[in-house]
Amino acid sequence: GAVVSQHPSWVICKSGTSVKIECRSLDFQATTMFWYRQFPKQSLMLMATSNEGSKATYEQGVEKDKFLINHASLTLSTLTVTSAHPEDSSFYICSARDGKLRTLTYNEQFFGPGTRLTVL
């Protein structure tokens, strides 16, 4: 159980186009999903927190108009990179929390396999 998928696993696009990445929790309901980006040989950097049915909360320095996040259902969150440029090329990873877990001190997140975005 507790599987998170991402689609696509990799995408190549031209500069100026928009790219949508999907994150799905396959066997549980995820009230909260998180989006990270990771540059080569670096750690994960949290971009935003996505809560089902409400607006995403963005980390400082992340442009919300460029990285559009939609969490319309308990099993799906999408990240759209609008007007992508080469500097947006990165590895994007999502994670999801199981909404049924009520333990306050145990923050279990399940990670997707990541999406490699290359902008030419």
Partner 1 sequence: SQQGEEDPQALSIQEGENATMNCSYKTSINNLQWYRQNSGRGLVHLILIRSNEREKHSGRLRVTLDTSKKSSSLLITASRAADTASYFCATDDPGNTGKLIFGQGTTLQVKP
Residue nearer to partner 1 on the CB measure, 46 or 120: 46
Residue nearer to partner 1 on the CB measure, 18 or 42: 42
Residue nearer to partner 1 on the CB measure, 34 or 119: 34
Q: How far is the CB of 111 from partner 1 (least distance, A)?
A: 4
Residue nearer to partner 1 on the CB measure, 13 or 45: 45
Q: How far is the CB of 31 from partner 1 (least distance, A)?
A: 9
Output the CA–CA distances (angstroms, integers) from residue 14 to 18, 64, 78, 83, 86, in the order listed: 9, 21, 20, 9, 9
Q: How far is the CB of 90 from partner 1 (least distance, A)?
A: 12
Q: Which residues bind partner 1 (CB under 8 A)?
A: 6, 32, 34, 41-46, 49, 59-60, 91, 93, 95, 97, 104-114, 116
Q: How far is the CB of 16 from partner 1 (least distance, A)?
A: 26
At which residue do the structure tokens 């799906």 appear?
76
Residues 6+ apart with CB under 8 A from 42: none
Q: What is the dihedral of CA 10, 15, 16, 18, to 10 degrees?
A: 0
